[in-house]
Chain A
Amino acid sequence: MVDFFEAFRTAVRLILDLDADLVEIVLLSLRVSLTALVPAVLIGMPLGAFVAIRAFPLRRVVVVFMSALMALPPVVVGLAVYVVLSRAGPLGNLGLLFTPTAMVIAQAILIAPIIASLTRQTVADLWEEYEEQLRSLGASRLGAIPTLLWEGRYRLVTTTLAGLGRAIAEVGAVIIVGGNIAHATRVMTTAIALETSKGDLVLAMGLGLVLIALSLFINAVAFWIQDLAQRVEA
């Protein structure tokens, strides 16, 4: 294990020197996950809010189903997206397989249920508190959705960060639909998985450190926002 310390030191060097390969991989990771976040939030939040305040048949079933989807195994999502995008699949002619777009789709599918579920909980809590007042003022249930999303803004930012954290740390789906192609679809997690299995620990460790730092950062921001919310809105 003499190599270990040597590898570690080289890994830190890579980061400090802003090694071109490392930077490229980190930036692609961020680009893919942040892009995936957009549709996941745009679909997940209104959907979660709708399920929270709208009574409809089988609502409980939908709620349970949404929670269950939170625990979707990434490899299964990756497999499903792969099948759909593969040449013989229904969307095969788009030629998206092994592109960052395919990775964005897989991650969006993975985190949309998380965002929808957490949003549903937030909005349901708020609706309980606000329902009579909003009805008294003349708001309809659907009309109340934007209001409730805004009232829950701090918690929803935290929810969004939870989605980002999950997306950026996920490996199973992107490795299947992205393929870890150098300079094309190689992101932090896939690079770590493959470099490690090849025995090249230096890049893997460098990326691992960046990933840990990012996760800590995302969590710290989420914590800070909660704290801020408590102070500004009592």
Chain B
Amino acid sequence: METPARTLLPIELEDVGYAVRKARPLVGVSGVFSQGPLTVVIGPNGAGKSVLLRLCHGLLEPSSGKIRLGLETREDRIRAQAMVFQRPVLLRRSAAANVDYALKLRGVSAADRPGRVRAALEAAGLGSVASRAARVLSGGEQQRLAIARAWALRPEVLFLDEPTASLDPQAVQHIEGLVRSIHRSGTKVIMTTHDLGQAKRLADEIWFLHRGRLVECAAAEEFFRSPATSEAQTFLEGKLLL
């Protein structure tokens, strides 16, 4: 594994805001993503979770504030991270070719690729469908393939945007297992969910967003035991947050 001399982490957000026309999906968010805890960003729909991930991943530029990363060049930053989108975007080719494509883009040599493709697919339980067209796989398999493709890149940080939205319980369980093993392998996982149960099962650390603001940021255990804000209490009680 080619560990970079310097690391992308910590990712430091300083008063980060994002605005498009009149909408302000994210307002004054400050915080640090550091090596170690599995971070889960929660909050109701439209809270700004996806925007936060896109900003950290470099797909969007903050309209105000700063995001500080450990690596300098664009090239190094891209190499150090990967993202799995809520709706998996798979190429119209086989499952294996999807992983191979990503590795090739990152400059992994043709000699090394087949082994890494196989390892990634097997880790995701997709060994038996490697040669099937990616787009005809089931929803859960497609999401696992998207995760396998991202993981094959051996990123330092992996962003996962609602990786289990609209999947059946079995597929959810499968993906949560996969996320845990990615975390254990040493990759920093930053994921979003609006499923409280999932956050409880996976999180070491919670970022709670509401209406574009970071309302609470705490160790998971503490957050679920005694939320500091009334918004978080309301959210945890499963009431509608207005």
Give A contacts to B, CB under 8 Å: 129-130, 132-133, 135-139, 143, 147, 151, 153, 232-234
Contacts and interface: CB of A to CB of B under 8 A. Distances in A.
14 contacts: A129-B89, A132-B85, A132-B89, A133-B89, A136-B82, A136-B85, A137-B106, A137-B153, A138-B78, A138-B105, A139-B105, A153-B92, A232-B133, A232-B136
A33 to B, nearest CB: 29
A58 to B, nearest CB: 24
Contact of B136 (A136, A137, A233): A233
Given A133-B89, A233-B92, A138 B79 contact: yes
Nearest to B159: A136
Interface residues of B, number: 20
A92 B54 CA distance: 58
Nearest to A153: B92
A234 B138 CA distance: 11
Contact of B59 (A130, A135, A147): A135
Interface of B: 54, 57, 59, 75, 78-79, 82-83, 85, 89, 91-92, 101-102, 105-106, 133, 135-136, 153
Contacts of B135: 233-234
A147 B89 CA distance: 13
Main secondary structure of the interface of A (DSSP, over half): helix
A133 B85 CA distance: 8
Given A136-B57, A136-B59, A139-B105, A151 B78 contact: no
Nearest to A232: B133
A61 to B, nearest CB: 25
Given A136-B82, A137-B101, A137-B105, 11 more contacts: A136-B57, A136-B85, A137-B82, A137-B102, A138-B106, A143-B105, A147-B91, A147-B101, A232-B133, A233-B92, A233-B133
B105 A234 contact: no
A135 B78 CA distance: 9
Contacts of A138: 75, 78-79, 105-106
